[in-house]
Structure 1
């Protein structure tokens, strides 16, 4: 009897706690391993998508130098998932001005947005869609993850800044003429038609709004920011996604596409 009591005491007081600690440690190590694999997969996917002779390799140090340490003077804009800078890079033996979109990896969803944008930009080619020059998936000076997209630079900014001009800005821009507005509308329509009907697989932008319509020197419009884009490998998956039971609101309130739980875009160019 005493022997059995001692055995039970040994199991409950010594063996079970040790086994519990071992199991907890194993779970923690497994979780860390999965997180690392996910991060590694994200970086590998982005790098794989941009492994091609047409996509040059750029380092974090080059991006720091090209933006003067991500200085305010080079700041173009800021969004939910990151910040855009004007950047000077040596590309094909020539100094080139580009737009650098640096993702805020502390913001939930930014890594997914980076991957979504890499996937979409790698599949598209149209005169009215923003072009990707390359991407950078590396570490910063503090050994933190760093992800950025190098995009073509649009000297006339975005459509929102033209439709809602700052009355205190100097010098003042001339407003858009009726013909310029019509041309921009046609450019955007061409871009969306290509994404929906001519791109394989079809791509839904999900966040079409004036601030994501960028303008060249001659005001040719380019649709940009594919961080919320949805790629449909086949028509069946596109139809399935339209079910209210499988979809949530994607995009900016007021500009969400009707099939994604919103209304028609509320902005006016007139």
Structure 2
């Protein structure tokens, strides 16, 4: 059953990885991507705190993730050109206000669907394995690739952040919500690297092994009028929060008549003077 927005916690199974069983995640196929990043995952029943009931709401600078209103005006979330023209500038404006960044750019977006009911060339499932999108080396590589397109040097800025914006495209998120792991409860020994193979390149992400010390959070019953922003890399070594491991997860006993999750992730680089 879906957790009521006033309930404090939920127990749910989250998929960790076995460090000895890490393999490359292959995204070269035209088929819908798998929802797990390894052929064998370490499924653990974890306690997940309802972030809505915390006395101090999580913020981007204190916990690495933040819930905000979605007031964006977009005529069609499924038209890539409209997204670039309408959504991208609004997201950057919002993130500049939230972070104090001098400038920012968006380099891509992904629409994810539980059921492949969308006629899109890119078919992505919600990822139900605990991960973070970047490692220091893959973040630096992506930064240089994207800034080069604009003739910008990374040396012009003191530091940068990669921030994801996650927006539900269904009225109510019942299936496959996002959970966030407090990076301060993660040890270096629980962090592992995983290659990701794309059609034209090989990237690298961070995946995690289990610890009972991990503290998890999520927002139940999110609506399309809300958005989540969360940090996936920060080059500032003095930052309180360097990144936020995250995962989609399954809530048991969901009514099958409830709408399946469709969402969009917008990936931004924020630049600081």
TM-score (norm 2): 0.30
Larger radius of gyration: 1
The structure with the greater share of residues assigned to helix is 1
The structure with the greater share of residues assigned to strand is 2
TM-score (norm 1): 0.30
